[in-house]
Amino acid sequence: MALDTQSVTRILADFGSGESAVRELLPLVYDELRRLAASHFDDERSGHTLQPTALVNEAFVRMASVGGMKVTNRAHFFRLASKVMRQILVDHARGKQALKRGGGGERITLDDSYPAPAGKGVDLLVLEEALERLASLSPAKARLVELRFFGGLTIEEAADALDISRTQATREWRTARAWLADELGKGAEA
């Protein structure tokens, strides 16, 4: 569906002000949110209890229920959506882990372009803890990882969303991935 930029900007500006703006926005962003959510499940086992459609719907409902939320533009909207999707996935993994009495958390990979060996995905809860440590050291790198991993954005899209150059985003991504690999490796040794 093609809409001019001014219309999308107006709808996003009104996003937190009422149900009509939410109803108007959903059809415009649903396919892209669904694609981003589906990317999280590419390496998951079939029959996963949380499906991409449910992730998108839950994220959208949570975002729409925040009264007075101001969304300035498309990049800002997808940054928020990435953060909400991350929290939903973490909450889901925590719930699953609690059911299993602390064992067998969901396993996912950090990046489809660098797939982990079979069965060697990243435990989402361990990743969440590592991201929290990274955020205390470098909030910008943590936001970049969040956009790339949980938001499914390309390096170019993430750079635009963070308003940094693609070169800087690439450099920050490499550094963040190396730091996370080291942190996640420490967790595997413990």
Query: What pLDDT score was predicted for residue 146?
Result: 86
Residue 136: domain span: 5-189
Number of domains in the chain: 1
Q: How confident is the model at residue 19 (pLDDT cuts 50, 70, 90)?
A: low
pLDDT digits (tens, 9 = 90+) for 69-89: 777 777 778 778 888 888 888
pLDDT digits (tens, 9 = 90+) for 130-164: 999 999 999 999 999 988 887 778 899 889 888 89
pLDDT at residue number 167: 96
Quick: pLDDT tens for 28-63.
778 888 877 776 666 555 555 677 788 888 888 888
pLDDT of res. 20 = 67
CA distance 111 to 105: 18
Which is higher by pLDDT, 85 or 168? Answer: 168
pLDDT at 128: 86
